Structure 1
Amino acid sequence: MTNIMLEVKNLKKIYDELGPSPKIALDDLSFEIKNNEFVCIMGPSGSGKTTLVNILSTIDKATSGIVNISGASIVGMSGAAKAKFRKKKLGFIFQNYNLLYSLTIRENILFPLIINSIGEKEWQENLEQVTQILGIKDILDKHVYECSGGQQQRAAIARALISKPEIIIADEPTGNLDSNNSRELMELFSKINHDSQTTIIMVTHDAFVASYSTKMLYMKDGKIDKILNRHDLTRDEYFNEIVKVNAILSNN
């Protein structure tokens, strides 16, 4: 059995391809992510990070190329097939949480299971597991507006985990958090990555946040400009390497 969770080959995305001013957002991208890797994607504004994540999330289409997730090709999938694949394989964490304020924390977390008609016994077991990991059992019956930003972010993570996805895609998850909550969140991500054997793909501009990953992809002009692996580096050493790479590549 292959240990490759994500395979991207010769991926291109061109907006307004037939128009007078086509824009190349992704330019012949190729890379792999293994099972249980924690990968961060960095790069300047306009480098293609959001476009790449949108394609991996199956909410945007590639112009050409290959994208295989967990052995399944998502390029050319029908809309219905993509929706089913997204629900089964992927979990999402957003900068703005995207929680429903009219629901309790419990109802927000369980929402993906309810719309997928998962049986009560299974969702009760899943709820017990994720709330134990995230330490939010005591806020399950509170409404969103009664919870702090850190608690809301943990609820958003629980919602992403509740379906036991193979990949979590996080877009600037610490963007609205202070430094203490950002550190706590990244420690949780590391724990989830280690304990749940879940592959994580995270977009961030923050070198400190990126230092919790096991691999960093630096994007520029729609291409992967640098791949940095943590290997046996301490987190502080890895952080320093990320800062150096960002400084060098952003000035080139």
Structure 2
Amino acid sequence: MRLLLVEDDNHVAAALSAILVRHGFDVTHARSGEEALEALVPESDGFGVVLLDLGLPDQDGYEVCGRIRKRTATPVIMVTARADVRSRIHGLNLGADDYVTKPYDPGELLARIHAVSRRTAHEEAPGTAGEDVLRLGPVHIDLPTRQVTVGDSAVQLTRKEFDLLALLAQRPGVVFRREQIISEVWRTSWEGTGRTLEVHVASLRAKLRMPALIETVRGVGYRLVAPGA
């Protein structure tokens, strides 16, 4: 798999590239946001994953992520020391597929790369058999077009946010175990994905402006509470 590594620290990039190459990746190193965007021009866009550091010398990594998402659907994994939840949510809202905080274990990063590359092959929401449009009070979820509206307002969701919402919405009131959600939406059993699940749930609650729609069942998982139920 071709992988674009966006990292301004040459020592960090060299060490990480060596690990990635040993695991079969063809690594292209970009030292700035502009280099990354130049590498992702449509005629040469053959990357399977972008590893994006946020502390770049020419522009903020968030801006780079937004610009990448406008030109390609290539999965983006943000790699940064910014560990607070707001930073994670902001990154995911911009279209990042995952968010890894430094320092990280190389095995963890490799697992996340493989998980992201696997799940991008499955664009349709899990379990789309049955109704084409799920209606939960003011929330309408159009499965074929992957569009969500609340009342008359369209809500822009990332790929995984939509998959997560669609999964929960197909069985309102049913508790989905965390392991089950991770397996069906992220298509992996790796336990470290749990933190990513929490961030996606928080982002969904904020975007839909309905915090009570997705209920946390402590120690088990999550369920969707239909409005008016």
TM-score normalised according to structure 1 size: 0.28
Structure (1 or 2) with the greater strand fraction: 1
